[in-house]
């Protein structure tokens, strides 16, 4: 199935979404709207505030990462997209249609054809081979025949599992099992991939490999991906659009580099305080956007290089200037003094904003 929306257009729109768990969520909703916070809602009214007034646009062809600590509401939010959970109030619009108005048949079509899901615990069938697991989504749709196996083989090859088609999940490492899960999602040919802590159970090196694999596939396929994580390094690496949750509410959202340079809340400042900024920040985020040639340039750098690599090239000389290139064209100038300023966290530059 090809995505009939242009890349960058809104694919999923979440509007004024609330989720309250308890015996009378509608009554509790009014308390929340009257200003009752999450702890008080539980203490005074015996209800749990899962999500509070969520407004997020998920754009076609991009990776939207929703992150937060345990209990922030991120997994609750992703389960609203395919209606594994129904909201207390709000809207979930997919391809211009309100999925909350779907009946059982239309909802089943949404889950089978429009969205696929990659789980943290792999969710492979232990009695089925790798090939059978990879083609399972299409068999659930009622398809049959050798075309399913042929397509499953293709995607298993793309995720590096050539030759493992006849193996069973128990014969594979965790990273290999997750590759099967990704192949299964890709073989389903869905427009949207939901990935709930998909790499969290993996060892760090395998996790890095899986992140690189996802980015490699995304550069070619341009899927609409919603990725859930509690890990900020992972979020900054993968996200085109980053949404940070706390206690069921959006604290800040936007382009990851912009959030890192311009945190708007003490919680975010504290959250990013230990990040290696030189490794995460890119040249495009700190350059002077211009096509003027400049003078006394020390060379050229790519707009997507991280600052750590430029520091190595410059050998730490803050007096240097570089032409910034992207796709063979100049897009800016990088002044090393600006680079150094960007490495200083907000709370260090402004003591008044430090988090106690």
Domain ranges of the chain: 57-254, 277-347
Residue 49 tokens, joined: 């505030």
Q: Give the up-direction half-sphere exposure of residue 86: CA atoms within 13 A in the CB hemisphere.
A: 10
145-179 b/e with 16+ CB inside 10 Å = b? eeebbebbbebbebbebeebbeebbeebebbbbbb
CA distances (Å), 115 to each of 74, 82, 194, 263, in order? 18, 7, 7, 32
Residue 81 tokens, joined: 């997209």
CA 339 vs. chain centroid, Å, equals 27
Q: Domain 57-254 is classified in which CATH homologous superfamily?
A: P-loop containing nucleotide triphosphate hydrolases (3.40.50.300)
Residue 31 tokens, joined: 């308390």
| CB contact at 8 A, 107 and 83 | yes
CA distances (Å), 124 to each of 91, 121, 174, in order? 32, 8, 11
**Tell me, what's the pLDDT at 1?**
39
**Tell me, what's the pLDDT at 206?**
86
**Tell me, what's the pLDDT at 151?**
87
Count of other CB atoms within 10 angstroms of residue 5: 16
Nearest residue to 175 via CA among 128, 131, 207: 207
CATH for 277-347 is 3.90.1280.20
CA distances (Å), 229 to each of 82, 187, 202, 225, in order? 18, 23, 13, 13
**Tell me, what's the pLDDT at 348?**
41
Q: What are the pLDDT tens digits along the chain (356 aa)?
A: 344 457 779 999 999 999 999 999 999 999 999 999 999 999 999 999 999 999 999 999 999 999 998 889 999 999 999 999 999 999 999 999 999 999 999 999 999 889 988 877 778 889 999 998 998 877 777 777 778 888 889 999 888 889 999 999 999 988 888 889 888 888 888 899 999 988 888 888 888 988 998 999 999 899 999 999 998 889 999 999 999 999 999 999 999 999 998 999 998 988 888 888 898 899 999 999 999 988 899 999 999 999 999 999 999 899 999 999 999 999 999 999 999 999 887 654 454 544 43
| CB contact at 8 A, 74 and 67 | yes
Backbone angles phi, psi at 200, to 5 degrees: -65, -25
Nearest residue to 319 via CA among 303, 297, 302, 304: 297
Quick one: 77 exposed, middle or buried, by C-beta within 10 A (0-12, 13-18, 19+)?
buried
User: Quick check: helix, strand or coil at residue 204?
Assistant: helix
- Considering the entire predicted model, what is its pTM? 0.85
Output DSSP code: residue 114: I
Question: What is the β-pairing status of strands 89-94 and 10-21?
Answer: antiparallel
> Torsion-angle region of residue 199: left (phi > 0), alpha (psi -120 to 50) or beta?
alpha
| CB contact at 8 A, 196 and 78 | yes
Residue 239 tokens, joined: 């996200």
| CB contact at 8 A, 165 and 131 | yes
């Amino acid at each position: 199935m090809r995505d009939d929306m242009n890349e960058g257009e809104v694919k999923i729109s979440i509007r004024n979404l609330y989720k309250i768990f308890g015996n009378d969520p509608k009554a509790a909703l009014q308390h929340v709207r009257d200003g009752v916070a999450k702890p008080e809602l539980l203490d005074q009214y015996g209800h749990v505030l899962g999500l509070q007034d969520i407004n997020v646009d998920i754009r076609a062809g991009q990776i939207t990462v929703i992150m937060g600590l345990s209990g922030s509401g991120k997994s609750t939010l992703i389960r609203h997209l395919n209606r594994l959970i129904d909201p207390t109030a709000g809207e979930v619009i997919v391809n211009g249609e309100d999925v909350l108005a779907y009946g059982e048949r239309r909802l089943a079509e949404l889950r089978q054809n429009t969205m696929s899901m990659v789980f943290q615990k792999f969710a492979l069938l232990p009695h089925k081979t790798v090939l059978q697991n990879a083609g399972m989504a299409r068999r659930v749709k009622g398809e049959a025949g050798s075309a399913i196996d042929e397509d499953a083989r293709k995607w298993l090859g793309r995720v590096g599992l050539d030759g493992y088609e006849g193996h069973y999940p128990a014969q594979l490492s965790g990273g290999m099992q997750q590759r099967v899960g990704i192949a299964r999602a890709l073989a389903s040919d869905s427009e949207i991939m939901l990935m709930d802590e998909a790499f969290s159970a993996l060892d760090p090196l395998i996790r890095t490999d899986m992140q690189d694999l996802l980015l490699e596939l995304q550069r070619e396929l341009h899927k609409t991906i919603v990725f859930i994580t509690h890990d900020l390094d992972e979020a900054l690496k993968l996200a085109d659009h980053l949404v940070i949750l706390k206690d069921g509410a959006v604290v800040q959202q936007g382009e990851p580099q912009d959030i890192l340079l311009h945190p708007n809340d003490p919680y975010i400042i504290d959250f990013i305080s230990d990040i290696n900024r030189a490794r995460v920040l890119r040249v495009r985020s700190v350059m002077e956007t211009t096509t003027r040639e400049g003078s006394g340039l020390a060379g050229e750098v790519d707009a997507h290089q991280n600052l750590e690599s430029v520091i190595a090239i410059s050998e730490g000389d803050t007096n240097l200037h570089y032409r910034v290139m992207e796709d063979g064209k100049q897009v800016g100038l990088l002044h090393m003094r600006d680079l150094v300023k960007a490495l200083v966290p907000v709370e260090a530059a402004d003591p008044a904003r430090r988090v106690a």
